[in-house]
A and B are shown apart, each in its own frame.
Chain A
Amino acid sequence: MASLRSTSCLASASAETDAENLCATELRLAPPGVVVGEDAPAKKPSSVGAKRTLESTGPSSCDENDTAAPAKAQVVGWPPVRAYRRNTFHQSSASSAAAKKSSDEQQQGGLYVKVSMDGAPYLRKVDLRMYKGYRELREALDLLFTKCFSASAPGTHTSEGCSDGQFAIAYEDKDGDLMLVGDVPWEMFTSSCKKLRIMKGSEAR
Chain B
Amino acid sequence: MDIPKAGIPKGESVKQKLTLPPHPDRQLCRPIMETFREIVVNEANFVRKCISAESCQDDLWGKLVCTNFKVSFITHNSLPRQCTHRLLGEHDIPLACVEQVVTVNDVKGKQKILGSNQKLKFNPTELILYCKDFRIIRFRFDEAGPESAKKVCLAIAHYSHPADPQLLFGFEYVGKRYHGSTGERVNGVDPGGGMQTTLFDCSSDWDREIKRTGASEWRVCTINQGYFISPSLPEFFVVPVSLADQDLKQYACFFYSQRIPLWCWNHSSGSALVRMSNISDLQQQRKVEQRISSAITKSHPLRSDVFKSDLDKNLPNIQDIQAALLKLRQICVIDPFEESEEKWLSSLESSRWMEYVRTFLRHAVEVVYMLESRNVPVILLEKEDRDLSCVISCLVQLMCDPHCRSLHGFQGLIQKEWVMAGHRFLDRCNHLKKNDKEESPVFLLFLDCVWQLWNQYPAAFEFTEVYLTVLGDSMWVPIFSTFLFNCPRQRAENSRDFASSKSIHLGQDQALRFPPVWDWSQQFSLKDQTLFNNPLYVGKIATCVQNGTVKTFTHSSTLRGLPSALRNGSLGPNDTLARRNSLVLRLRSDLSQVREQQETPSERFIRDFFSRPVDLQGLLLPQLLPSHLSVWKLYFLRWVPEAQIPQGGPITAFHKLSVLTDEIDMLQNQLRQYKGAGGTPNNLHAEHSKMYFKATSTPHQPPAPPEYLSSSFPFSPVGNLCRPGILGSPLSKFLNGAKIWLSTETLANETI
A in complex with B? no
